[in-house]
Amino acid sequence: MTFEVREGEVLSLIGPNGAGKTSAFNAITGYITPSSGTITYRGTPLAGLKPDQIAGHGVVRTFQKTSVFNGLPVLDNVLIGLHRRARQHPLAIMLGLPGVRRDEARLRDLAWEILDLVALRPRADEVAASLSYGELRLLEVAIALAAEPTLLLLDEPVSGMNPAETGAFMALIARIRASGITILLVEHDMKMVMGVSDRVVCLNQGKIIADGPPAAIQQDPQVIRAYLGERYVRARG
């Protein structure tokens, strides 16, 4: 299986359960080691690196199951995600040097910018556990954005969302892309996939059976047979 993600695009991986989508995500982000082949990002081989090392190269992901710090306020969740951007040495922090306060103020400003991007500023002081399911998914994206990704991998981000929440998330994807971040998406909501993607890659049993713009993918006989089904085509018609 070979595919590329082009700078600045939204690329979606689709396919039936067990097709290899999440395995591809796990291999790219260092959660599993591929038995063969290569994974390269901007000329840097990623295979064999740990997830935090891969994140240091700008490749950051979210997960199917929401992972946030439920007992902390929303703003603090994002500040924890910003730890990679701290400039002060631990000794300076212990001594309380003036530069530490300036760095803390800088990180707080960045946290507010991220909360604005994901539309969670009004909930900044509320404990994460009080958020709705859709808001928790937005918070998880905010934490991922705090790691300063250049390639953001979203694993089934609208799973379990209602139509209004899904629509809001689609708008968020547009804002993230406009900020210069490339997006690799795995999602089963085909309306969402076809609405946000520049290109779609369809997998089946670990192999690519189609690669192209959404309009072409929706008409591809192999994709219809393996994944979309005739009911999807009739519903669109």
Among candidate residues 182, 152, 143, 173, the one with its CA nearest the CA of residue 59: 152
pLDDT tens-place values along the chain, 237 residues long = 789 999 999 999 999 888 889 889 999 999 998 888 899 999 999 988 999 999 999 999 998 777 788 999 999 999 988 876 665 544 444 445 555 677 788 889 999 999 999 999 999 999 999 999 999 999 999 999 999 999 999 999 999 899 999 999 999 999 999 999 999 999 999 999 999 999 999 999 889 999 999 999 999 999 988 887 755 555 565
CB atoms within 10 A of CB 163: 11
* Strand segments (E) across 62-140: none
| Beta-bridge mates of residue 225 | none
- pLDDT for res 90: 44
Alpha-carbon gap, residue 96 to 196, rounded angstroms: 46
* Strand segments (E) across the chain: 10-14, 40-41, 44-45, 59-61, 151-155, 182-186, 199-204, 207-212
- pLDDT for res 149: 96
Tell me the backbone φ, ψ of residue 212, rounded to 5 degrees: 175, -175
Alpha-carbon gap, residue 102 to 26, rounded angstroms: 37
Cβ–Cβ < 8 Å for 210, 223: yes
Structure tokens, 45: 């081989």
User: Helix and strand tally (H, E) in the chain?
Assistant: 11, 8
Domains of the chain: 1-58+149-237 (3.40.50.300), 70-132 (no CATH)
Give the distance from CA 126 to its chain's centroid: 23
DSSP 3-state of 4: coil
- pLDDT for res 37: 87
Among candidate residues 177, 187, 182, the one with its CA nearest the CA of residue 214: 187
Structure tokens, 17: 């359960």
| Beta-bridge mates of residue 44 | 41
CB-based contacts of 151, cutoff 8 Å, min separation 6: 5, 41, 58, 59, 60, 181, 182, 183, 184
- pLDDT for res 2: 85
- pLDDT for res 92: 43
> What separation in angstroms does the CA of 103 have from each of 6, 85, 95, 110, 189?
34, 9, 14, 11, 41
